[in-house]
Amino acid sequence: MTNTLLYEGKAKIIYATEEPGVLLAVFKDNATAFNAQKRGTIGNKGQVNATVSAQLFRFLAEQGVRNHFIDQPAPNQLRFRQLRMIPLEVVVRNVVAGSLCTRTGLPRGQVLLAPLVEFFYKNDSLGDPLFNDEHIALLELATPAQLAQIRTSALAVNEWLRAFYAQRGIRLIDFKLEYGWDEAGQLSLGDELSPDNCRLWDIDGDRVLDKDRFRLDMGGVDQSYYEVMQRVLQL
Ligand code: TMP
Ligand code: ASP
């Protein structure tokens, strides 16, 4: 089988496969943070992120959340249906952490009364700026109706993932999603769902289990990623 390199990102290499519309993502152990100013590797990250993403995409598909996942041909590889990606990072937050602390002054750990949805323009050279609905309309990234659909979907994903992680003794603090349009013109969830893209705290004592351990030099990074994978595979 010949695959053609399409794109190499910070965490994944994407190949076109011989099957039209089917992509192969190879997940790397490389880790970056703060717009790639910090670089390193996390042991088994490729396998952990592919496996966690596969489980969560399967679970969300069962709940009726359309997504691009096909299968996991190798521990660090996923096959996806190709989407026409919307260049937005859709962040949903349940608890104050990260850039919400620094932007608002709210204390880390404060539980939000309702989930907060934020949009960041996916553009490394601009540093992924925070966008509101009007910026999104200005750049014609989505129509108001499409944006409403994205918001509704992201909030539904939050409820499903929150319940999924709660069953495994983990609090879902916040996470980032990326969406696109499939060949049928339907909104579909894309990218990955892994400890790189979310904040996960142990229900017992709020021990950090996600990429903040790497970002903030907290140690025990490889072990935490592996623990998340094992807990995601439970039940
Ligand atoms: P933030 O608090 O740094 O804005 O991050 C919010 C969530 O988005 C958090 O779960 C981590 C995730 N995230 C990414 O997936 N990619 C990124 O580049 C950034 C900055 C955050
Ligand atoms: N992955 C992003 C980067 O390298 C940021 C992050 O996850 O903190 O820039």
CATH code of the domain containing 70 = 3.30.200.20
Same domain, 194 and 111: yes
- Check whether residue 193 and residue 94 sit in a common domain: yes
**Which protein residue has the closest C-alpha to ligand 1 atom 13?**
197
- Asked whether residue 8 carries a pLDDT value surpassing 70, the answer given is yes
Please give the tally of structural domains in the chain: 2
CA 183 vs. chain centroid, Å, equals 22
Give residue 1's pLDDT.
65
CA–CA dist 149, 93 (Å, integer): 18
Residues 70 and 160 in one domain: no
Atom of ligand 2 nearest to the CA of 11: 1
Domain boundary among 47, 81, 115: 81
Residues near ligand 1 (Cβ within 6 A): 91, 97-100, 174-176, 197-199
In this predicted model, what pLDDT tens digit does every residue of 161-193 receive, in sequence order?
Answer: 999 999 999 999 999 999 999 999 999 999 999
Residues 76 and 89 in one domain: no
Question: What would the pLDDT profile of 50-94 be if each residue is shown by its tens digit?
Answer: 999 999 999 999 999 999 999 999 999 999 999 999 999 999 999
Query: d(Cα 57, Cα 189) in Å, to the nearest integer?
Result: 9
Task: Tell me the per-residue pLDDT of 149-167, one tens digit each, with 9 for 90 and over.
Answer: 999 999 999 999 999 999 9
Q: Which of 60, 81, 102 is the last residue of a domain?
A: 81
Tokens of 44: 């088994």
Same-domain pairing of 113 and 60:
no
Instruction: Give the pLDDT confidence score for residue 56 in this predicted structure.
Output: 98
Distance CA 113, CA 63 (A): 25
Are residues 105 and 94 located together in one domain of the fold? Answer: yes
Asked if residue 140 has pLDDT above 70, the reply is yes
Confidence of residue 235 (pLDDT cuts 50, 70, 90): confident
Question: pTM of the entire structure?
Answer: 0.97
Q: Pick left, alpha or beta for residue 42 (phi over 0 → left; psi -120 to 50 → alpha; otherwise beta).
A: beta
Verify whether ligand 2 is closer than 6 Å to residue 30 (CB atom): no
Structural domain that includes position 154:
84-232
